Structure 1
Amino acid sequence: MKLTIIGGGLAGCEAAWQAARRGVPVRLIEMKPIRFSPAHHSPGLSELVCSNSLRGASLDNAVGLLKEELRRAGSLFIEAADATRVPAGGALAVDREEFSRYITSRIESEPLIELIHEEAASIPEEGPVIVASGPLTSDLLAESIGKLTGEYLYFYDAIAPIVTAESIDRSTVFSASRYGKGDGDDYLNCPLDEEQYNRFIDELLAAEKVVARSFEKVVHFEGCMPVEEMAERGRETLRFGPMKPVGLTDPRTGGEPHAVVQLRQENRDATMYNLVGFQTKLTWPEQRRIFRMIPGLEQAEFVRLGSMHRNTFINAPHLLHPTGQLKREPRIIFAGQITGVEGYVESAASGFLAGINAVALTRGEGPVVPPSETALGALVRHITGETDHRHFQPMNVNYGLFPELQGKIKKKERRQKLAERALVMLDPWLEQVKPGGC
């Protein structure tokens, strides 16, 4: 049975490669060069658009661990990256043109992959399909996906920053819900006095912002307004919006703060917290500088920074099984950024998992899900396992997604221990899914 894959980006090419290595014939449909998205210019496959950096290479960084896992798994993405690497200090960066040429050559020379250059206007009605159409999915295909998924298709991100729980100063921040609703302590609250609030607003108004590209310009809904744009409407706007202090009492003073920034638990293990209502278009350096002015976040470690940009993605926790299969139609698997993973490496990882699960599907075998202790499994866990679908937003891999270690671990040793545990768990799993073994 032939597998159809829509999209010749990182996820689609990785999925095609993994399926072909396991003996499954593939139809890989890529609309370039017949039609280009607004962000793409090269006719080659797996074109890197925004940057040539694949981020940190060290195991101190979760994306470094994810790359090591993909390397051990026989990823085409990593093979190409290693072959086209350029100097970048502690990061893995590539020559973008050489990287695309390398993957294009490998895909075109694989006899089990039929590369078809045409626009996929809809999802095939029969047979196994991987949808890896990316964050700039064409309008026709997006319409087809929307009909299949209902009202769970989004066309831009309104993302607020996320910080690690261990970097929050609990001597300043207090737990409480407004008027004691819910469990009474569902949120962490960072209190600001009037002077702190005004200084924060001054810096917010003067901060450098990211200029949207033409295809990313959107009309923001009131509920998704960038925090800096709200501040431009008046100095008190945020105090009546996401920084509203009403119904909260600071236990240190016994009174209501002038303003608060609320932090909402992001994951089940409570290792990450979201800055509620702080979607933003500030540059990343400005976000780090200004948001660390918030009392209790002076030493904040950001695992995700805020952004607002064009991005087509589905509500994966609501729609997908851990295998990436669509719950209502399991022959269809989603992969790449359309599932809500962010970043080049994460997209390739999603494609890797989609490819091996498509093989299992075509052979009538059981699903293939990596251990949650691995970087691959942590991504799956976030996308389809533990995230509240009402607040789902795309995410890069980070150590905050991983299950907690047992026992007391020194903070400076935590990441190394998480990486060591991941690789110990990974190797036996890879034995089960390697070509000829799954």
Structure 2
Amino acid sequence: MKERIIVIGGGLAGVESAWRLANEGHKVILYEMRPQKQTPAHKTDKLAELVCSNTLGGTELTTGAGLLKAEMSLLNSLVIEAAKEARVPAGGALGVDREIFASYITRRIEGHHNVEVRREEVERIPEDEIVIVATGPLTSERLTEHIRELVGYDTLYFYDAISPIVEAESVDFSKGFWGSRYGRGGDDYFNCVLTEEDYRRFYEELLKAEKVQPKDFEKAVHFEGCLPIEEIAQRGYQTLLFGPMKPVGLVDPETGERPFAVVQLRKENAEGTLLSLVGFQTKLTYPEQKRVFRLIPALRNAVFVRLGSMHRNTFIQSNRVLTPFLNMRKMENIFFAGQITGVEGYVASSATGILAGINAGRLAEGKELVVPPAETMLGSLVRYVTGKEGELQPMNPVFGLLPPLEKRVKDKKRRKELFAERALNKMREWVEDFQRG
């Protein structure tokens, strides 16, 4: 019988690790503290519950997230499998129905004969067993303290924000139009139109709105890729027009002109009965969210089924602590995966879970640990977070991480196509190599 392996955390990274190990014949104990102990962001007891956006990013190979998803498919990703089952229209992005997605993964994990799911909080990491820590950005306070002891450095944190969701029936669809930017993806988004006067009033009230303040002992440090909308607004009157409210690539079919500003609504479930405000993550108080967001003409009578909120995201300085195999430099039997390593987003978190699972299994079998080639998106991302000089800030999968092509290509799209082609070829070769070994 193969050595058992412990996975702490039932989020995207944790389920990927458990799935990989279980399918390779390892006995896995997967710890998930919910519902015994909830987090400030989760609402259910399901594994892999999505608490922020319901999209896993772009699907085109010319995007970092799209390329990484293609690599994950070559690695038999459970998250990608579930996303295909739960897919909802989202333009060029991979959107999912949250309930179907989480239920599918929960069913697959709990039904696997090599996985035992234990619903309890882990307060200390077992140091004499092979362990994958995949507790995510909302690691419990007691376990966070133990992680601090293990890594020897202060664990950094930043604040992530959740966007509100409204009932579709409460939206005034006469105050906007359906369509994606530049016509890509069909009519997957509803664009709430704002005139210049609407925008001015919204902007002024947004700046004046009351916000939820961090606790005295916490300092709010925001990741640039997920700033609260009011934080963006404070940078200038037109900043939102170049961010979440940008009208670029959209033409109002009624006027034939580009709107002054828009707020995009995206389907949250397969039925389209719930719509989320795209890019409207916020730390406004609940009453202020209702007041200010109802200044958007199409949302004047909006019924909010979920309001935005802020929660602490915890991650370690992986470049000081981890090897590219995602295990600790000073304790090879302890691996980390997911957002706690400093990668950003659902897809990157899931992908690191796969790699941690591969290497934890290989360590248990006495095999050499592996990392994908630098030419792959996963390989370059892992090398970045474990090898960056200086302070680490969360990183998305982006083409800028990849080593340059042998020959210079001026056309940007063609260059990305060649990057993707090279990455997938390298990933296929790598998978074949380590499976033989």
Question: Kindly tell me: are residues 6 and 279 of structure 1, through their superposed partners in 2, closer, same or farther at Cα, counting changes over 3 Å?
Answer: closer
Q: 1:15 & 1:362 partners in 2: Cα distance?
A: 14
Residue number among 210, 214, 217 corresponding to 1:217 in the alignment: 214
One-letter identity of the residue aligned with 2:432: E
Stretches of 4+ moved more than 3 A in 1?
205-214, 218-222, 278-293, 306-309
What is the 5 A alignment of 1:18-37?
18-37=20-39
**Structure 2 residue 421 is matched with structure 1 residue 420:** yes
Offset from partner CA, 1:383-404 (integer Å, 9 cap, x none): 112x11x321011111111111
Paired with 1:154 and 1:353, the residues of 2 have a C-alpha distance of 23
Q: CA deviation at 1:432?
A: 2.8
CA contact 1:11–1:336 (8 Å) conserved in 2: yes
1:364 is matched with which residue: 363, 366, 370?
Answer: 366
CA contact (8 A) 1:70 1:349 kept: yes
Taking the aligned partners of 2:92 and 2:210, their CA distance within structure 1 comes to 29
Q: Partners of 1:98 and 1:221 in 2: how far apart?
A: 35
Deviation, structure 1 residue 142: 0.4
Letter of the 1:418 counterpart = F
**1: CA distance between counterparts of 2:89 and 2:208?**
27
Q: Distance in 2 between matches of 1:367 and 1:374?
A: 17
Q: Distance in 1 between matches of 2:144 and 2:391?
A: 21
Please give the alpha-carbon distance, in whole angstroms, between the structure 1 residues aligned to 2:210 and 2:139: 18
- Match of 1:391, SS state, is coil
Could you tell me which runs of 5 or more consecutive residues in structure 1 were left unpaired when the two chains were aligned: 159-204, 227-273, 294-305
CA distance in 2, matches of 1:413, 1:364: 42
Give the % identical residues: 45
Q: 1:117 and 1:206 mapped to 2: Cα distance?
A: 46
Seen in structure 2, the aligned counterparts of structure 1 residues 210 and 350 have a Cα distance that, compared at 3 Å, is farther
- Secondary structure of the residue aligned to 1:329 is coil
Separation in 1, partners of 2:329, 2:22: 25
Q: Partners of 1:135 and 1:22 in 2: how far apart? A: 28
Q: Which residue of structure 2 aligns with residue 186 of structure 1?
A: none
Show the counterpart of 2:76.
74
CA separation in 2, counterparts of 1:78 and 1:351? 13
Does residue 399 (structure 1) correspond to residue 399 (structure 2)? The answer is yes
Secondary structure at 1:4's aligned position in 2? strand
Count of residues in correspondence between the two structures: 331
Counterparts in 2 of 1:208 and 1:363: CA distance versus 1, 3 Å: farther
CA distance in 2, matches of 1:211, 1:112: 51
Post-superposition CA distance 1:182-206 (Å, at most 9, x none)? xxxxxxxxxxxxxxxxxxxxxxx96
Displacement, 1:433?
3.8
Corresponding letter in the other structure for 2:6 = T
TM-score (norm 2): 0.68
Aligned equivalents of 1:369, 1:152: Cα separation in 2 = 27
Structure 2 portions without partners, runs of 5+: 161-202, 243-280, 283-309
Q: What is the CA distance between 1:217 and its match in structure 2?
A: 2.8
Q: Find the counterpart in structure 1 of residue 276 from structure 2.
A: none
**Structure 1 counterpart of 2:405, one-letter code:** L
Letter in 2 for 1:145: I
Cα-to-partner distance string for 1:195-231 (whole Å, 9 max, x where unaligned): xxxxxxxxxx9696799996x8355989x778xxxxx
**Aligned equivalents of 1:355, 1:128: Cα separation in 2:** 11
CA deviations on 1:227-279 (whole Å, 9 max, x unpaired) are xxxxxxxxxxxxxxxxxxxxxxxxxxxxxxxxxxxxxxxxxxxxxxx99xx99
* Structure 1 letter corresponding to 2:421: E
Q: Contact conserved, 2:14 with 2:353, CA < 8 A, in 1?
A: yes
Q: CA deviation at 1:367?
A: 1.1
CA distance in 2, matches of 1:356, 1:111: 19
Question: Following TM superposition, by how much is the alpha carbon of 1:324 offset from its aligned partner in structure 2, in angstroms?
Answer: 0.5
Instruction: State the superposition RMSD in angstroms.
Output: 3.5
The residue type equivalent to 2:153 in the other structure is E
- State how far apart, in whole Å, the 1-side matches of 2:86 and 2:208 are: 29
